[in-house]
Every structure is written in structure tokens, then in C-alpha cells.
Amino acid sequence: METVNEMGCLPDSLTEDEMKQLARSERMAVHASNAANLVLFGAKVFASIESKSLAVIASTLDSLLDLLSGFILWFTAHAMRTPNQYHYPIGKKRMQPVSHPEINHMQEKWMIGIMVFVTVVKFVLMVYCRQFKNEIVRAYAQDHFFDVVTNSVGLATAVLAIHFRWWIDPTGAIIIALYTMSTWARTVIENVWSLIGRSAPPDFLAKLTYLIWNHHEEIQHIDTVRAYTFGSHYFVEVDIVLPEDMLLNKAHNIGEKLQEKLEQLPEVERAFVHIDFEFTHRPEHKTMV
């Protein structure tokens, strides 16, 4: 906050060329993830046919969902790069029965080889995608981590069922199904909180207040500081009090520079600064029930 207050921007900000290079790297991560999902899905379909393992089949069905989610993420990234100021004036950064399968030694080796290959590729993609801060690429990283877990469980239970007890395989399928449901449920809840305008935590509001108060020596009072979720970032609303006799151009410049400073914070999507000369009035915006 001290650095932002003094410099007006975040330290070590990327240059325009660096931002373009980062965008190219992010696109490469998206395309690599989609291509890998397609190839690995085909390989896991083959492994499922050969092994007839319920755990491997459950993992393969999850890979089918990866293709669907990958297409949605790709389409979202593509739509964000094609702005339409008339329709989106502030941009687009916010869019079977239990049985005992028979399997011979060769089929087992094929299944193990494919599943190990798939897991290793997913692990490498997870590490690669976690290097980026872009929300779409981070979503791919989360999806790759999920696949590493489900593939590992599927492979382990399928092999254990072959060598020990047949019921271990369907148990692995049930574990994968329960893990999938719980993971998607947590994701849904997280996104619901992001979409309903939930307030930012108190420590973030305290940082905003500190930054606002130290922005300019002529700020007499801070009437309101709000920050609430709007997608993956926050919308910030600020009411500040300036001297009643201050010239309009000076008051405008103070408010505009404060807005720009607030929008430099990585958590902030948009900031709205309202300037007033007193703070005894009632709130100007009614609360939606």
C-alpha cells in the first residue's frame, strides 16, 4: 500500500511488450491443455475398452468433461479478445453393475502404461499452467490437478483389483465419483459467492481505506468504502469529502487519480470514486432486497 500510494502504480509492473508475451504464453498453455485433453481422452478410451475397469471408465468419463470444460474455457478466452463496446461497455473479463472384469497380462500392461502416461502429462501441464495468474489458465491448472488425483486413484484401484480383490475396482469408481461431485460442488459454491456481490474481507477494506486516506492531503473525510465481488475480482465504491470551495478541475483530478490508483490493485476490477463536500447526508443508493 505504501508503494502504491507513493508511486501511483504497482512495483515491477509489466511493460506493453511483456504483457503481449505473457498473453501469447497464456494462449499456448490453453491450446496445449486442449490438445492434450483430446489425445489423452482417446488413449483412456482405449484403456477402458481393453481393461473394462470401472475405475478407469470413471476416470475416462471425467476426461470427457475435461474436453467440454476446455471448450468452454477456450471460447471464453476467445470472446474476451473480441471486445464489443456497445454490448459489453466494460469488457468481457467477467464469462453400472458391480462386476469382476477379466483382463490378461498384456491388457494390464497397456492399461498401466496409458494411465501412467496420462497422469504424467497432466502433472506436467498442471505445473506449467500454475505459473500464470490468468484466471482461465489457472482453471486449467486446477482441472489438471483434479485429473492427476482421479487418474492415480483409478490406476491404483484397477491394479489392486487385478491382483487382490475384485471389489476394489468398483470401490475406486465410487471414490472417484464422490471426489468429482464434492470438487464440482465446491467450485459451484465458490462461483456463487463471486457472483452475488459478497463483501471483501475486512483486511482488504482496511488496505483500501489506508490507500484512500493517504492519497491526498486535502481529503477531509472518507464517507464510504465498499468492495464486493463481481466475478473473480472486486468492484470498489468510494465516497470522499473535499473542501466545499475547491475548484472543480482540482477536485476532478484528485478523484480521477484515486480511481486509477485503486484500479492498479490486482484484486480490483473497477473503482468508482464519488466526491462530496459533506458527509451528513443519507446514502444515495438504495439497497436491493
**Position 286 in a domain:** no
**What residue numbers bound the domain in which 22 lies?**
2-195
Lowest-confidence pick of 89-103, 128-142, 215-229: 89-103
Q: Is the pLDDT reported for residue 280 higher than 70?
A: yes
For β-strands 233-241 and 268-276, DSSP reports them as parallel
Which pLDDT value is given to residue 214?
87
Q: What percent of the chain has pLDDT over 70?
A: 71
Q: Are 63 and 47 in contact (CB under 8 A)?
A: no
**Residue ending a domain, choose from 176, 195, 214:** 195
**Position 29 in a domain:** yes
**Position 55 in a domain:** yes
Query: pTM for the complete prediction?
Result: 0.49
Residue 36 vs residue 78, higher pLDDT:
36
* Pair 219, 255 in one domain: yes
* Pair 122, 264 in one domain: no
Which pLDDT value is given to residue 83?
63
Per-residue burial over 77-104, b = 16 or more CB atoms within 10 Å of its CB, e = otherwise: beebeeeeeeeeeeebeeeeeeeebebe
Cα separations in angstroms, 175 against 114, 223, 250, 273: 21, 52, 63, 50
Distance CA 101, CA 87 (A): 55
Residue 18 vs residue 214, higher pLDDT:
214
* Pair 82, 207 in one domain: no
* Residue from 32, 30, 54, 59 nearest 43 by CA: 59
Residue 115 vs residue 59, higher pLDDT:
115
Give kind and range of the element (H or E) at residue 36: helix 16-51
* Pair 147, 262 in one domain: no
Which pLDDT value is given to residue 45?
79
